[in-house]
Amino acid sequence: MSSSETLVLGGGCFWCVEAVFVRVKGVLDVESGYCNGQAERPSYEQVCSGHTGCVEVVKLEFDPAVISLSQLLAIFFAIHDPTQLNRQGHDVGSQYRSGIYCSSPQQLEQARDFIAELERESAFAQPIVTERLALRDYWPAEDYHQDFFERHPNQGYCLAVAAPKIAKLRRAFADCLRDRDG
């Protein structure tokens, strides 16, 4: 029996990132939260103020025997724009920055290598600005943020932003989908 690993990703609004990764086989749990800021147990309102230094993130618990870190990173880089500093689309502020927050030195090295390969391949027209840092702290977001897309699929933001990311996942990573999402 393999052990699970934890990886924390910031790619804009956590509703959208969470909606993608709950559909990926090998991902055992997904939780929206905040990390790597100066505030302890920040509220959504505090994070949105831009004064906490926290990032909106999703914490993934995954089984590396089923899905590799490289596969998770490939999905992550396909569903957000890693070249936008402190924003994703209309969401602007340092809380929306692109980031990979690793739970081990090995993950951090793999993330750095993955991005270096994307840069060598000129995968993006602009430079990648994604942070690659050790996870310093993590705080779960409020309950009403958890499983937001699943509970509100027809909400405007979900339709406009999250649904296209899920559609892209289904097109580009069909082999990584849970059976129920195929």
| Residues annotated as part of the active site | 13
Q: What single-letter DSSP state applies at residue 24?
A: B
CA distances to 9, 35, 65, 168 from 99, rounded to whole Å, are: 6, 10, 24, 20
Report phi then psi at 131, rounded to 5.
-70, 145
What's the CA angle centered on 71, arms 65 and 72, to 5 degrees?
Answer: 95
> Tokens 């897309």 identify what position?
149
